[in-house]
């Protein structure tokens, strides 16, 4: 099954939203590094976040971080993470078509729908995600050169 990753630029996020995304990234990185050193990392669940912090954080992001930290510790013997971008599994990431294409995911405040800038070749793939002909993977929210992006891997079945 071939896979490609769509890199969707978020359409002009406001300053408060950018700050919220940055806070989410910082909190996620700190939690991932704390979890690496935790003695019971293999038994970790979303309730372990309460030991780390009393702040609210989307459980979907916590669960995805736990899954990735377990994998990185086991397979790549990670010692520390410099930056751990927030990831959203396919159940918590939704692509919708309104006037613009929007992507909704959980944040610190609530679940928000964010418009994305689409290039012509991405429109066809986004339509396939919406109608279910391709399978969407875990999305990653990241920042590059002062712009915020959402990377969504997609796979599709090819008959041989």
pLDDT digits (tens, 9 = 90+) for 63-101: 888 888 877 777 767 677 888 898 888 888 889 898 889
CA distance 57 to 88: 13
Which of these, 61, 71, 70, 49, lies nearest to 24 by C-alpha position?
61
**Ranges 11-25, 38-52, 137-151: which has the least confidence:** 38-52
| Residue 38 pLDDT | 76
Check the CA dihedral 94-95-100-105 and report its sign.
Answer: positive
101-133 pLDDT, tens digit per residue, is: 999 988 888 888 889 998 989 898 888 888 888
CA distance 77 to 157: 33
**Helix or strand holding residue 16 (H, E):** helix 15-37
CA distance 60 to 110: 12
| Confidence grade of residue 153 (pLDDT, cut at 50, 70, 90) | very high
Which of these, 85, 106, 105, lies nearest to 95 by C-alpha position?
105
52-66 pLDDT, tens digit per residue, is: 777 888 888 888 888
Q: Comparing 131 with 49, which gets the higher pLDDT?
A: 131
How many CA atoms does the CB half-sphere of 49 hold within 13 Å?
A: 22
pTM above 0.75, yes or no: yes
pLDDT above 90 (res 142)? yes
pLDDT above 70 (res 137)? yes
| Residue 76 pLDDT | 66
CA distance 94 to 99: 16
CA distance 38 to 58: 20
CA distance 112 to 20: 12
């Amino acid at each position: 099954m071939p896979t490609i990753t769509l890199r969707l630029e978020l359409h002009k996020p406001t300053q408060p939203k950018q700050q919220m995304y940055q806070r989410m990234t910082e909190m996620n990185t700190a939690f991932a590094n704390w979890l690496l050193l935790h003695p019971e990392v293999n038994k970790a669940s979303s309730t372990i976040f309460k030991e780390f912090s009393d702040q609210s954080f989307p459980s979907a992001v916590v669960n995805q971080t736990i899954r990735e930290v377990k994998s990185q510790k086991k397979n790549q013997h990670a010692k520390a993470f410099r930056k751990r971008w927030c990831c959203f599994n396919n159940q918590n990431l939704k692509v919708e078509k309104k006037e613009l294409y929007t992507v909704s995911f959980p944040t610190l405040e609530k679940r928000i729908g964010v418009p994305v800038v689409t290039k012509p070749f991405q429109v066809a793939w986004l339509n396939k995600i919406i109608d279910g002909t391709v399978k969407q993977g875990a999305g990653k929210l990241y920042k590059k050169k002062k712009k915020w992006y959402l990377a969504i891997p997609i796979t599709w079945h090819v008959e041989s």
